Structure formats: C-alpha cells, structure tokens
Chain A
Amino acid sequence: MMGSRGTSAVLSRAARMRQKLQSSLEASALDIEDVSYQHAGHAAVKDNANETHFNIKVISPKFEGQSLVKRHRMVYDLLTDELNSGLHAISIVAKTPTESGS
C-alpha cells in the first residue's frame, strides 16, 4: 500500500497525494486517477507534462455537514504543496459515506 518513509523522496505525486488525503480525511474510499495525458497540449503544462492533472474521488466522514466549496477547499488545502510544485488542476468528487451509499 503506502510507500515507507525512506522512499518518500521518490514517491510519485499520485502517491504523495494519496498519503496526504488518506491520513487527514480518513477516507473510506479514495480514487486518484492521473489524467495528465488528456492535457498534454495544454499551454500551462508544456514544460512538465507529468502528473499535472488528476481526477480525485474521495469519500470521507469529515465532509459531513460541509458545503461543496468547503469540501473542495479541504482537499485543496491538503494538496497546497503539490499545487505549488506543478500540480495544475484536479477534478474533485467529494462525498460523505452517507451520500455515497456505502
């Protein structure tokens, strides 16, 4: 599952995102899909086309009672470092366990 601490330096962005979201949101389900290839020609990603665009689906009890904007902000806040280091856009589906029906 998670890479050990010693390998974190070479972890992919996807793996780092997974780690951050999983631990902070106590996610009961977490899908992270790298869709950077769909944006390969995108002006903003010319230089570094790897791991720039992701789709994230996350189910977390911590979203309970939070508006969509707040949920997305929670995710964005956890990924600030990534957003500042080349992560360009993420598409977020953020649900509570109740909403996801699980």
Chain B
Amino acid sequence: MTFPMATSTASTAAAASIRLLPVPATPSSRTLRFPPILRRAPRALLSVSALSKLSEASPVPIPQEPTQTLPGEDALPPRPGVYGVFDPAGDLQFLGISRNVRASIEGHRRKVPADLCASVKVAIPDEETPDKSVLTNAWKSWMEEYIAATGKAPPGNVAGNHTWIGPPQRPADLRLTPGRHVQLTVPLEQLIDRLVKENKVVAFIKGSRSAPQCGFSQRVVGILEAHGVDFASVDILDEEHNHGLRETLKTYSNWPTFPQVFVGGELVGGCDIISSMAEKGELAALFQK
C-alpha cells in the first residue's frame, strides 16, 4: 500500500489534531477525539496534539548508500520522537520510537538492507524531553492508524522479525581456538593468560552466556549483567573451540571449580564470592578498577 504524500509538515499547526483511536482495553473515555481536560497532564497533551497523523506526515527521503549523510537535522532531528520507515514502494516497514530519532534511523540504515529504507516519516514532540507516555501514545496512535488502514502491523514490528530490532544483543562467547582440527602453536595456558589480560572482565562458564548449563554459571552471568558489566564469556564445555580448557584453567587459576571470574587478569572467584560481593555492594568498585 502507499501513503498519500501530505503537503503539511510535521510542525504545522494545521496537522494539529491527533486522533486517538479507541483502545479496546479501556473503551470508556478513549473516544475518537481526546478532550484536553481528561487524564493526561496538560504538558503532555500539548506535545501529543502537535504531532501529525502517520498518513499526513511528510516523508523524508533517505539516501540509499549508508555512506551518504542523512538529510539535515531540521528534517531528522536528534531528538525524542516516533518514526516510520518506508521502502521504495512507499510501504511502511517499521514503526519506531526513540530517544534520538536521527541516531535510530542512522542505526537502521547500517543494519537493515538498503531496499527497506527509502524514506522516513517522523513526529517530534515540541518538548526537549517529553514524557515517555507522550512517545508511547504517539507510537500507538500511528500503529493503530496503520492497522486500521491495512489490517496488519508493519512487517518489522511483527513479533519474531529481527530485521529492525534484533533479539536481545549479547556478545558472543569467546573461543580460545578456531577449532579442534587446528594445531596450537602456543600452549593453551598462554592463550588463557592472554585472554584474561586482554579483557577486563572474563567469566569462564559452563554453557554459553545466553544459555548457561549450570545454575552457578547462570547466577554469575545474571549478576554481571544486572550490574551492567561489559564482560567476555568463555564456554568451558565447548569442546570444539576450547578443548582442554577445563583442566588447564583449573591449574592456571589454582581453582578447582566453575564458574571462574577474572578481573584485570586476576581470579576474583566463583559464584559464592561474586554473589557475596554483589550482596555487600562491592562489585561496582571491583569493576571500576
């Protein structure tokens, strides 16, 4: 489907009326037009009402080559807002919400095939830092408008589609060797030594970081992630890429069990120690070293 090319821009007062379609969950007061007096803080309402409808917003063309710069910041501001990305045929591919619309679109251009990003429509609330509800409401009204017109969500917003928003990004587990078939030219011990010294925080765990195979490893990964620690993980059960690591690491670290967490090349401990440091609030200081 295509969207009419609206002549009004997102900022014109003419496009002021925003329609909130009835939300099935709360049908009572959410009629077609949303009276300014109800429920929402006036501050928030102002900016919502300044946003245009999806069909009325002006498309901003995006250069096909990611190396070409985006249109100017007046068209694509580095500000909070909602945006829709259209393919060359004018079909909506994805509806996004962002604290920095320009940066998000820049991110999509790098990640998404070029034939899906031909133009964008944006709606930017007037306020510098709009309330989150302002943005989510604007996003919802665009989504509802689109679904009402087409009967479906944009492909990029369908659950399980990871073209636009990937699955929760976790760094891959590190591997000590390219594979079992490759003859090592340096001892495994030396590879471990290099790895723990080149990475600030390393967790040797059973299983991958996204699917630890042991409760203690899982707890350590959970604690590190909860503290926002940027850490490398190594799966000691990966016999293909880390063959022999299990036994060699025990000797290297003089520590008989797993998981093992290294910070700055030094063993900090296993699950017990990491848990106890987390409880005492000592982890933040440790990872800042």
B192 within 8 A of A: no
Task: Give Cα distance in the complex from A100 to B276, angstroms.
Answer: 14
Task: Give Cα distance in the complex from A17 to B131, angstroms.
Answer: 59
* Chain B residues, CB < 8 A from A69: 267-269, 273
Interface contact B213-A43, CB-CB below 8 Å: yes
* Chain B residues, CB < 8 A from A68: 269, 273, 276-277
Stretch at the interface among B6-14, B88-96, B250-258: B250-258
B271 within 8 A of A: yes
Q: How big is the B interface, by class?
A: 10 to 19
A13 within 8 A of B: no
Q: Which of chain B's residues has its CB closest to A83's CB?
A: B256
Task: Give Cα distance in the complex from A40 to B66, angstroms.
Answer: 54
Main secondary structure of the interface of B (DSSP, over half): mixed
A98 within 8 A of B: no
Task: Give Cα distance in the complex from A69 to B255, angstroms.
Answer: 9
* Chain A residues, CB < 8 A from B216: 89
Interface contact A72-B270, CB-CB below 8 Å: yes
Give the contacts of A52-91 with B (CB-CB under 8 A). Answer: 68-69, 72-73, 76, 80, 83, 88-91
Which residues of B line the A interface, CB within 8 A? 213-214, 216, 254-257, 267-273, 276-277
Which residues of A line the B interface, CB within 8 A? 42-43, 68-69, 72-73, 76, 80, 83, 88-93
Further 10 A-B residue pairs, CB within 8 A, beyond A68-B276, A90-B257, A93-B272 = A43-B213, A68-B269, A68-B273, A72-B255, A72-B273, A73-B255, A76-B257, A83-B257, A88-B257, A89-B257
